[in-house]
Chain A
Amino acid sequence: DGGITQSPKYLFRKEGQNVTLSCEQNLNHDAMYWYRQDPGQGLRLIYYSQIVNDFQKGDIAEGYSVSREKKESFPLTVTSAQKNPTAFYLCASRTTSANQETQYFGPGTRLLVL
């Protein structure tokens, strides 16, 4: 059963705490992405990675960090420096072959602050 999985579905963060959101794909895709979704604002790119051990900042990277140690996995850490972390977080992936620009999305993780 191929696809993108995200865990957990819901995550609660306390003040000053770092939390990590998991994203795993078994689609053999090279590129992976993290987006933040807030009501009425669409999706905003946090970080992306086109290849293992390499990643780039997106539009709203401050307060977030990522790693890409394996092709299948692209975890996102929301650090204590992110002052407004409450949002829905979506992971996506795509192949980097030519004319294969389509991104496929996971089911999302909702992060709430206690």
Chain B
Amino acid sequence: AQSVTQPDIHITVSEGASLELRCNYSYGATPYLFWYVQSPGQGLQLLLKYFSGDTLVQGIKGFEAEFKRSQSSFNLRKPSVHWSDAAEYFCAVGGGNNDMRFGAGTRLTVKP
């Protein structure tokens, strides 16, 4: 069965600093991978997704993620964090139909 692990429950970075959020997955075939962001009390917004092709994918709000099959990882990065990026971030893996699995989330705090 597929699963997703986000090792960091909470990360704090200074505004303007770079960011990397970790995501490791377990899946028996080529996965579809997603990163979503959630502001408090809101739904999930898609940041980016990987289905195939170039392993470095660009998303909205200046985020990017890299698929590394050898490490079963799909880490999210941003070169310079803004205060508005403070939110909870979810990694998800799916392979079709209705078997999407979400990680437990990483809460990002941005220091001024």
Cα A68 to Cα B104 with chains together (Å): 29
Which residues from A are CB-within-8-Å of B97?
A: 50
Please determine whether A101 and B9 come into contact, CB atoms closer than 8 angstroms. no
What is the number of residues of chain A that contact chain B, defined by CB distance less than 8 Å?
A: 26
B10-46 CB mask vs A (1 if < 8 Å, else 0) is: 0000000000000000000000101010000111111
A63 proximal to B (CB < 8 A): no
Please determine whether A42 and B104 come into contact, CB atoms closer than 8 angstroms. yes
Which residues from A are CB-within-8-Å of B105?
A: 40, 42
What is the number of residues of chain B that contact chain A, defined by CB distance less than 8 Å?
A: 24
B90 proximal to A (CB < 8 A): yes
**Residues of A that sit less than 8 Å from B by CB:** 4, 6, 31, 33, 40-43, 45, 48, 50, 56, 58, 88, 90, 92, 99, 101-108, 110
Q: A101-B94, A105-B45 are in contact. List 20 more A-B contacts (CB 8 A).
A: A4-B43, A6-B43, A31-B98, A40-B9, A40-B104, A42-B4, A42-B103, A45-B98, A50-B97, A50-B98, A56-B98, A90-B44, A92-B44, A99-B51, A101-B49, A101-B51, A102-B34, A105-B44, A106-B43, A108-B43
